[in-house]
């Protein structure tokens, strides 16, 4: 197993290098740069000499290879460089937003699990009844409805309904406070995007739970358990569910990885100062350094998540052994 883990980690290196080359080149193919956007973007007079000075200071006039080397060599010294827009260290910019994105990802995952597992079980056990149809409709709606649209509807719904019932419209806070500082305010801001995202997330997991459980419930050992007289609840909880959850764990883990940095539009809708919003701002501003590092972070998270899931799979299912 350790050999397997080491091999996977070593294989991650060419994956990351390939991603680095791709993002570096693609960004520079788009016309424009951060200096133009920063100094001329607001319509005020912009001195061309100032723009050129900005380019010099940010290294944008250096040869491409030199710029690429500066990008890659930072990983050996753990110096990811500075944001071209703010001048602040990228580790600082990312670190600041990572907490919020991680919290939303965890909350959305918990919401998803809380919805998906019970509904998936009920739907499988009550297959082809009206309960099953309702759950399936609920999960299809979750897949069809974009989470950012749901987010917009949630906010509008809160504004309109609170004004109707209480006279004054209310919406979630739009500035982040740590849960350790003010847990109530933190929850009142983040529960809504967690629900909006978690619902969509749960829809996929619900359907996977249902189909996986249906398959397991048709296995011989389950028929044996039934013929031995075990209660249905015991059969499901003790025997069937563990095996049915294997693919569900994979789905949940991969979706979790996506939530870190992937909630670009949802974060815009709720004005969350997370990695997704940072991504949009970096791309908008043509901040090459920051965009590159964010892409690499997302690639790294996916690579590591896949590895963790595979290892977890082997731990859950003794039949699986990596050689």
Partner 1 sequence: MRRFSPKLAAAAVLGCAVGLGVGGPASAQERGGILNFVVAGKIPSYDGHQETTFAVIHPLAPLYSLLIRVNPENPQSPTDFVCDLCEGDVPKGEKGGTEFTFKIRQGVKFADGTPLTSADIKATYDKIIFPPEGVPSARKAFFRMVESVEAPDPTTVVFKLKFPSGAFMPAVANPYNWIYSKKDLDTHGYEWHKKNINGSGPFIFVQEQPGSFLEAKRNPNYHHPGQPYLDGYKAIQAPKMAVRLQAIRGDRAAIEFRGFPPKARDDLVAALGDKITVQESDWNCALFATPNQKREPFNDPRIRQALTLPLDRWGGSKYLSEIAIVKTVGGIVFPNHPLAASKQELQQIAGYWPDLKKSQARAKALLEQAGHPGLKFELNNRGVDQPYKVVGTWLIDQWARAGMNVTQRVQPTPPFYATLRKKKDFDVSLDFNCQSVVNPIADITKFLGSAGNNYGSYEDQVLEDTYDQLLRTGDEAGQRKLIRQFEKRALDEMAHMAITLWWYKINPHRSYVKGWKIAPSHYLNQQLDNIWLDKSLM
Q: Which of 269, 290, 298, 299 binds partner 1 (CB under 8 A)?
A: 269
273 binds partner 1 per the rule CB under 8 A: yes
Residue whose entry in the numeric block shows the structure tokens 């007079």: 45
Q: Which of 170, 223, 226, 315 binds partner 1 (CB under 8 A)?
A: 170
At its nearest, how many Å lie between partner 1 and the CB of residue 131?
Answer: 37
152 binds partner 1 per the rule CB under 8 A: yes
Question: Which is nearer to partner 1, 97 or 210 (by Cβ)?
Answer: 97
Q: Which of these ranges, 1-9, 125-133, 172-180, 247-255, lies near partner 1 under the rule CB under 8 A?
A: 172-180
Q: Which of 163, 182, 219, 315 binds partner 1 (CB under 8 A)?
A: 163
168 binds partner 1 per the rule CB under 8 A: yes
Question: Which is nearer to partner 1, 127 or 271 (by Cβ)?
Answer: 271
The Cα 79–Cα 182 span in angstroms is 33
Closest by CA to 191, choosing from 108, 258, 278, 109, is 108
32 binds partner 1 per the rule CB under 8 A: yes
215 binds partner 1 per the rule CB under 8 A: no
The Cα 203–Cα 131 span in angstroms is 15
Q: What part of residues 42-101 is at the interface with partner 1 (CB under 8 A)?
A: 42-50, 53-54, 57, 85-88, 93, 96-97
187 binds partner 1 per the rule CB under 8 A: no
The Cα 107–Cα 260 span in angstroms is 12
**DSSP 8-class letter at 85:** T
Residue 126 CA neighbour count, 13 Å, CB half: 14
Both tokens assigned to 315: 């731990």
Closest by CA to 118, choosing from 2, 277, 241, is 241
Four-residue CA torsion sign, 175, 42, 285, 254: positive
CB distance 138 to 195 below 8 Å:
no
Cα torsion for 156, 160, 166, 167, to the nearest 10°? 120
At its nearest, how many Å lie between partner 1 and the CB of residue 74?
Answer: 20
Q: Which of these ranges, 10-18, 102-110, 237-245, 276-284, lies near partner 1 under the rule CB under 8 A?
A: 276-284
Q: Which 3 state secondary structure label does DSSP give 89?
A: strand
Site for partner 1, rule CB under 8 A: 30-33, 36-50, 53-54, 57, 85-88, 93, 96-97, 152, 155-156, 158-159, 163, 168-171, 173-176, 268-271, 273, 277-278, 280-281, 284-286
């Amino acid at each position: 197993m350790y050999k397997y883990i080491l091999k996977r980690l070593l294989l991650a290196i060419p994956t990351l290098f390939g991603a680095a080359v791709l993002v570096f080149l693609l960004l520079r193919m788009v016309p424009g740069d951060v200096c133009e956007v920063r100094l001329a973007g607001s319509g005020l007079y912009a001195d061309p000499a100032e723009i050129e000075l900005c380019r010099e200071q940010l290294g944008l006039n250096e040869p491409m290879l030199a710029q690429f080397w500066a990008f890659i060599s930072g990983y050996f010294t753990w110096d990811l460089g500075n944001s071209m827009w703010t001048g602040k260290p990228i580790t600082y910019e990312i670190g600041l937003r990572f907490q919020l994105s991680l919290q939303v990802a965890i909350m959305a995952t918990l919401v998803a699990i809380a919805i998906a597992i019970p509904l998936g079980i009920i739907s499988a056990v009550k297959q082809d009844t009206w309960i099953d149809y309702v759950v399936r409709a609920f999960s299809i709606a979750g897949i069809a409805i974009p989470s950012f649209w749901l987010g917009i509807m949630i906010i509008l719904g809160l504004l309109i309904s609170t004004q109707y019932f209480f006279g004054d419209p209310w919406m979630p806070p739009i500035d982040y406070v740590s849960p350790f500082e003010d847990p109530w305010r933190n929850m009142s801001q983040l529960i809504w995007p967690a629900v909006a995202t978690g619902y969509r997330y749960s829809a996929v997991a619900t359907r996977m739970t249902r189909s996986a459980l249906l398959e397991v419930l048709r296995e011989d050992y389950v028929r044996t358990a039934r013929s031995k007289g075990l209660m249905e609840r015991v059969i499901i909880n003790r025997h069937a569910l563990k095996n049915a959850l294997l693919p569900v764990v994979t789905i949940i883990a991969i979706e979790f990885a996506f939530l870190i940095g992937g909630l670009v539009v949802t974060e815009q809708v709720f004005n969350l100062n997370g990695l997704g919003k940072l991504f949009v701002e970096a791309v908008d501003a043509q901040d090459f350094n920051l965009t590159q590092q964010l892409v690499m972070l997302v690639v790294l998270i996916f690579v590591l998540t896949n590895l963790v899931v595979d290892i977890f799979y082997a731990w859950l299912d003794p039949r699986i052994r990596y050689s």
